[in-house]
Structure formats: structure tokens, C-alpha cells
Amino acid sequence: MSVLVTGAGGFVGNNVVRRLVQQGRPVRAMVRGIDKAKMRLADVADKVEFVQGDVTDRASLPPLMNEVSAIVHTVAIAIERGGQTYEEVNFQGTINLVDAAEKAGVRRFINVSQNGARPDHFSRFLRSKGKAQEYVASSGLEWTAIRPSAIFGPQDEFFNAFARLVRLTPIVFPLVGGGTAEFQPVSIYDVVETITRSLDDNDTVGKEFELGGPEILTLGEIQKRILNAMNEKRVLINAPVGLLRPAVFVMEKALPGTPVSLTLLELLKEPNVVRDNALVTYFKMQPRPFSGDHIAYLRENSAGSAIKRFFTGAAVN
């Protein structure tokens, strides 16, 4: 029996797949593009069964459920692109997957949700994720929800986007919204560990786990740490959200790989900080900090990869 990982070519998904393979578990990786996912998972590709599926296509899902013991659901979009909407992918896509799992008799379901997600959130993104989790919780599945703050690690989108911007801005660097928004960056390796442990721990069934790193950091502090990790110096200038809005609007329309959207910009209004860090209180782990060797990967961004990512939307790491 396999563990089915949805979004297996994505940042969280490919790290979950890799860890499950390391643990010697049979893995079925659900992706939209098999060739692209095989390249990303090249080091373990021969130990993974790749299958094609789209959560918005209900009919594509039931055939993927054969001989599956558990599902780790990571599919979601943070930015609406290419006609995909939060409602269709994050909410309806989760409904489609949950329904297919129930019908096929797959009982165990780990839902990778998001810190702050709730059905009545002011943000359409966090609302879609909140409604998705509400549907999962109302199902007959043995579910566990993982709710991380911003996740860092090689291939992350959020922190690497700042590093890419650093490569394109030689002198000054914008301190977004004055840099006061709060985050609790959590390592991808810690997040993945909680997911794989949950698969083996029946006490996690029916529970939601908020995950954060060891420190609450302002965006300004995060930007300074990114600059330090890259051995770069910039003059930080305050860029109020109101001033950034028109630029972000244009970027969203014009750049296939825009690092930011108006929806994500408005999320800065609410601290992305966890109340009860389950990494410590439940999983008894020592979270990796957003510093030192843990963020050395940010250095690998080049001006060329930044341009490729922003202007074509192609994955660059």
C-alpha cells in the first residue's frame, strides 16, 4: 500500500516524497506534469510511482486511489495564475480529493493547511484554505491538519523571492510595509517530519497542529537576515503598502512568475505567528532557526535565475 502525495512536484510535496522514500515507504506522487516532477525528484525518481492528476478534474482522481493507505494533500495555489482560482483549486479541489478518498475507502488523510486559515478570513486565499480544512474535518476520514507559518528551505518561494530581488536591486532594497509584519519562519525539514510522524501516530487524528520556528521575526529582520546570508549590503528604504499596491498590481498582470500579489500583500495586516507551536508542545522537536547554515541556500540565487523566475514563471531551484 502506498502513500499518495498530491502536489508532489511542489516545494512541500517533493520534500515529503523524498522523506517517505528515505523511510522506505512506497510512494505514489500525484503531479500535473510527470516529466517536470521527475526532474525535480531526480535523485529518488526510480523509487517513486508518478501518476498524473488534477484536483479540479474529479474524474482524474478515483483511479489514483487504488492500493493507497494514506494521502498527504499539499496541493494549493497562493497566487491565482493561468485561470486557476483559490476557490477551484484550494477549496473545490480538496472536496474532490476527500470525496474520492472516502469513496475508495482510503481512511488516513493529512491536510497541509496554513497558519491563520479560517472559513471567514478577510483574505480570499486563507478563506479558501480554511473552508478546505472545514470540509476535511467534516468528512469521515481520519484526518490531521498541519498549519505552518511561512516555510523556509531550498526551493521555497517566499524567502527566495526576496533573495532574487536583492540580486536585481544593487543599492537600495524596499522594506515592505515598513518591515513590521510578523512571521515565525519554520523549516521545511521540521514541517516534513511532523507530516511523516503523523502518519504513524493515531493520536494526531482529528487534530490541527500549528507549526512555527523558534523565533518570531519582523519582515524587516527577515530581510536583514537574508541580506546577511547573501553577504550583501543594501540601504533599506520604507515602502508603505499603499505605495506598493499599484506596482504589485502591474507585476501581477505582467509577470508570469510574479513573487507577490495584491492578495498576498494584504496578508501582511495579520501576524503570521502561531499561538501554540506544536513542533515543541506536541512533537517535542527543537525547531531549526531562520539563521546560519539553515538559510545559506539563499546565496544560490543569481540575477539570471531571478529574471528567469520572474519573467517566465519557470522553476529555477
Ligand X SMILES: NC(=O)c1ccc[n+]([C@@H]2O[C@H](COP(=O)([O-])OP(=O)(O)OC[C@H]3O[C@@H](n4cnc5c(N)ncnc54)[C@H](OP(=O)(O)O)[C@@H]3O)[C@@H](O)[C@H]2O)c1
13 sits near ligand X (criterion: CB under 6 A) = yes
The whole-angstrom separation of Cα 135 and Cα 94 is 8
For residue 32, state whether it binds ligand X (rule: CB under 6 A). yes
Near ligand X by CB under 6 A: residue from 4, 29, 100, 150:
150
Question: Closer to ligand X at the Cβ: 2 or 80?
Answer: 80
Question: Interface with ligand X by CB under 6 A: which range of 3-11, 63-71, 251-259, 277-285?
Answer: 3-11
* Cβ(3)–Cβ(68) below 8 Å: yes
The CA dihedral of 261, 265, 267, 269, to the nearest 10 degrees, is -170
> Minimum Å distance from CB 180 to ligand X?
20
- Window contacting ligand X (CB under 6 A); options: 53-61, 200-208, 251-259, 287-295: 53-61
* Choices 68-76, 176-184, 239-247, 305-313 (CB under 6 A): range interacting with ligand X: 68-76
Nearest residue (CB) to ligand X, 120 versus 231: 120
12 lies in the site for ligand X, by CB under 6 A: yes
| Of residues 29 and 234, the one with the C-beta less far from ligand X | 29
Q: Which three cell numbers stand for residue 250?
A: 502591474
Tell how strand 182-183 and strand 217-218 pair up: antiparallel
Query: In the bound complex, what is the minimum distance in angstroms from residue 211's beta carbon to ligand X?
Result: 8
Taking CB under 6 A as the criterion, which residues in 265-284 touch ligand X?
A: none
What is the distance between the alpha carbons of residues 114 and 294, in angstroms, rounded to a whole number?
22
Amino acid at 263: T
- Please give the residue whose beta carbon sits closest to ligand X in the complex: 10
DSSP annotation of 294 reads G
Instruction: Kindly state the DSSP code that residue 154 receives in the 8-state scheme.
Output: T
Of 2, 4, 9, 196, the one binding ligand X (CB under 6 A) is 9
Rounded distance, CA 105 to CA 107, Å?
A: 6
**Which residues have a Cβ under 8 Å from the Cβ of 11 and sit 6 or more positions away?**
151, 153, 155, 156, 157, 188
Select the residue interacting with ligand X from 4, 17, 21, 89 (CB under 6 A): 89
Taking CB under 6 A as the criterion, the residue among 29, 93, 101, 217 binding ligand X is 93
Name the DSSP class of 176.
E
Amino acid present at 311: F
Closest CA to 110 of 98, 118, 120: 98
By the rule CB under 6 A, 75 interacts with ligand X:
yes
Distances (CA, A) of 220 to 181, 234, 247: 8, 12, 20
Question: Rule CB under 6 A: which of 100-129 touch ligand X?
Answer: 112, 114, 129
3-state secondary structure of 9: coil
Q: Is 272 helix (H, G, I), strand (E, B) or coil?
A: strand
148 binds ligand X (CB under 6 A): yes
- Of 2, 5, 10, 209, the residue at the interface with ligand X (CB under 6 A) is 10
Q: Is 56 in the site for ligand X (CB under 6 A)?
A: yes
Residues that bind ligand X (CB under 6 A): 7, 9-13, 32-33, 54-56, 74-77, 84, 89, 93, 112, 114, 129, 148, 150-151, 156-158
